[in-house]
């Protein structure tokens, strides 16, 4: 056994558990851990400008690549409270991240020491474990337990709080004797799989609903294989987008009351059986549950047993890891198929295709100021199938999900349940760090962009290139639209006359100037024909200069985006597509004779 400081043992454990990157902001109470990182020299560190941003960078890092666990570091007191939003966002979407905070000495706890605060008490509701370690000898075991918890069952975040004197305590530790704990995952059994397959065999209009649990399980290929074997349409949730490529013949979009496609909702309403895999029946997908549930049966497969029946009781529920469930379902499907017990669903698939080719929203507008629909059309044209999109919340997120295309798992990175403003930029940086070879395009409204805008300097300092599409209407657009129910437009306008930069023309902040002041590049676009060239140039510049490039798209001030209260009650505020020219980047070109 070797004698070393507890923090030196902690860093060795991080490395053995697979950690190669960390994000954070140093401070007095966490400096011992930073000294251990410096001495070890094999874990790269990205210095954020805000600790909340560091937590979102850790999220983006985890979400971008299977097996990753993002690590966020901060000092005592406010650094810990800054992490809470990141912990909430991570736990809401089942994302493992490890947050490590410094703390006042053990003897000073509960004595109102400077920045000494009970961070675990605050963090417990949004973590799988939040613990202050009181003895140096406990550090290895606490870290070992943390990694097991983050990976087991429903994944999620952990916070470890380290008093400064505990960090400095010397302990006996042998890294060669340390092994990560085994990870337990529940698995669907043969009886359960055959029950599900029997329900599919008895149905006429089945749907596979692909949730984010499939991505967490790194099992997208298995879902596609099952869909092809059964010849059954797939609808995705917001978190499951990318499990099946948008241009796959069995991919039928995303259903919901906001982030949804018209044909997806119509197909969901025509279904008689929905097999939900790794999903949670989010309210923005289901809308009115009476409409959502009427006329169809539901199977719910989730790794967390308390999710079954949480929103509504399924007709059949199974606790299982999504990947292991798909293994069992594939084996069952092959048994059923060998006995000739799988129906031919080709007529149902063609009905779904007819809706996909006719029920489309218009994207092609020549208006100035720009309509946002034209921006998303341009993104489809400018960015390739390998593009990884990152966004959080707002009308931009909702409408982008209605009009963009995603072709691979982990290429739609989104804070699905929490939706914190400011999340997009740091999450995009985490994604770039995790996978530098995949082009990243972030999408923000002007308010989301301003929340943690200082992280552009982080990206410039550490040469983290990506393209950030900024749709600027100088409004809190989603809140303005929801205020229509109250007949008001109150405290949601961000516009003002910028006395220093009159060329912003009343839109307020000079985003081009701010981006350049923080060491990045920016392009402002006002004309629709300039969108694609600007986006292509942004991509070129970002790779050449190794910094983010912002494409500011100056929008019309007010756009209302399609949404509703149920799958059968969606309000469309714009004229719908009536010809292929109205939606030139649709997956299936519209037949004018069949448009609906």
Catalytic residue positions, numbered: 25, 51, 421, 476, 479
Alpha carbon distance 316, 333 (integer Å): 17
Cα 588-589-594 angle, rounded to 5 deg: 100
Length of the chain in residues, anyone?
596
Considering only CA atoms, give the Rg of the chain: 25
Alpha carbon distance 496, 82 (integer Å): 30
Alpha carbon distance 452, 351 (integer Å): 46
Give residue for tokens 């208006």. Answer: 367
Alpha carbon distance 265, 360 (integer Å): 12
CA 172 to mean position of chain CA atoms: 40
Q: Which residues of 499-513 are buried (b: 16+ CB within 10 A; e: fewer)?
A: eeeeebeebbbbbbe
Q: Which residues of 87-106 are buried (b: 16+ CB within 10 A; e: fewer)?
A: bbbbbbbbbbbbbbbbbbbe
Dihedral angle over CA of 462, 467, 473, 474, nearest 10: 0
Q: At 265, which helix (H) or strand (E)?
A: helix 262-270
Cα 547-551-554 angle, rounded to 5 deg: 155
DSSP letter, residue 496: B
Angle, to 10 degrees, between the axis of helix 424-434 and the axis of helix 51-64? 50
Contact indicator for 153, 305 with CB cutoff of 8 Å: no
Helix (H, G, I), strand (E, B) or coil at 424: helix
């Amino acid at each position: 056994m070797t004698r070393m400081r507890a923090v030196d043992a902690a860093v060795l454990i991080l490395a053995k558990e697979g950690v190669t990157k960390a994000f954070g902001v140093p401070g007095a109470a966490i400096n011992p851990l930073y000294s251990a990182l410096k001495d070890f020299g094999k874990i790269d560190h990205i210095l954020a400008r805000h600790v909340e941003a560091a937590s979102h960078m850790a999220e983006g890092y985890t979400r971008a690549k299977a097996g990753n666990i993002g690590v966020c570091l901060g000092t005592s007191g406010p650094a810990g409270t800054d992490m809470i939003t990141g912990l909430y966002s991570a736990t809401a979407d089942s994302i493992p991240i490890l947050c490590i905070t410094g703390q006042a000495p053990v003897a000073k706890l509960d004595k109102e020491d400077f920045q000494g605060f009970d961070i675990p008490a605050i963090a417990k509701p949004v973590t799988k474990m939040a613990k202050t370690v009181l003895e140096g000898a406990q550090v290895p075991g606490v870290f070992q337990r943390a990694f097991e918890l983050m990976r087991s069952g429903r994944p999620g975040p952990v916070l470890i709080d380290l008093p400064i004197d505990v960090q400095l305590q010397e302990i006996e530790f042998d890294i060669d004797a340390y092994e990560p704990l085994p990870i337990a995952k529940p698995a669907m059994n043969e009886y359960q799989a055959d029950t599900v397959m029997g329900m599919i065999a008895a149905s006429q209009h089945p749907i596979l609903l692909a949730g984010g649990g499939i991505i967490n399980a790194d099992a997208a290929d298995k879902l596609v294989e099952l869909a092809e074997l059964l010849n059954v349409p797939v609808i995705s949730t917001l978190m499951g987008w990318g499990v099946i490529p948008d241009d796959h013949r069995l991919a039928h979009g995303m259903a919901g009351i906001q982030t949804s496609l018209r044909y997806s909702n119509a197909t969901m309403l025509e279904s008689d059986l929905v097999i939900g895999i790794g999903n949670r029946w989010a309210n923005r997908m289901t809308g009115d549950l009476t409409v959502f549930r009427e006329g169809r049966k539901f199977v719910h497969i989730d790794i967390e047993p308390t999710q079954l029946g949480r929103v509504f009781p399924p007709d059949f529920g199974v606790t299982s890891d999504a990947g292991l469930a798909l293994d069992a379902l594939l084996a069952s499907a092959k048994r059923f198929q060998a006995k000739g017990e799988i129906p031919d669903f080709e007529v149902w698939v063609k009905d779904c295709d007819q809706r996909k080719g006719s029920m489309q929203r218009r994207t092609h507008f020549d208006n100035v100021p720009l309509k946002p629909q034209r921006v998303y059309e341009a993104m489809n044209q400018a960015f390739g199938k390998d593009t990884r999109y990152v966004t959080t919340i707002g009308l931009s997120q909702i409408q982008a999900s209605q009009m963009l295309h995603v072709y691979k798992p982990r290429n739609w990175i989104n804070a699905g349940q929490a939706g914190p403003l400011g999340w997009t930029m740091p999450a995009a940086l985490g994604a770039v760090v995790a996978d530098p070879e995949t082009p990243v395009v972030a999408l923000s409204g002007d308010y989301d962009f301003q929340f943690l805008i200082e992280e552009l300097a982080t990206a410039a300092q550490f040469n983290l290139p990506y393209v950030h599409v900024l749709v600027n209407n100088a409004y809190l657009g989603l809140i303005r639209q929801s205020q229509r129910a109250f007949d008001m437009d109150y405290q949601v306008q961000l516009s003002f006359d910028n006395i220093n930069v009159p060329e912003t023309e009343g839109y307020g902040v000079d985003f081009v100037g701010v981006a350049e002041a923080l060491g990045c590049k920016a392009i402002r676009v006002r004309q629709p024909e300039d969108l694609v060239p600007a986006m292509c140039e942004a991509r070129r510049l970002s790779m050449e200069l190794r910094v983010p490039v912002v494409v500011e798209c100056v929008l019309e001030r007010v756009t209302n985006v399609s949404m509703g209260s149920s799958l059968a009650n969606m309000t469309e505020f714009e004229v719908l597509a009536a010809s292929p020219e109205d939606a030139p980047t649709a997956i299936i070109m519209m037949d004018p004779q069949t448009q609906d």
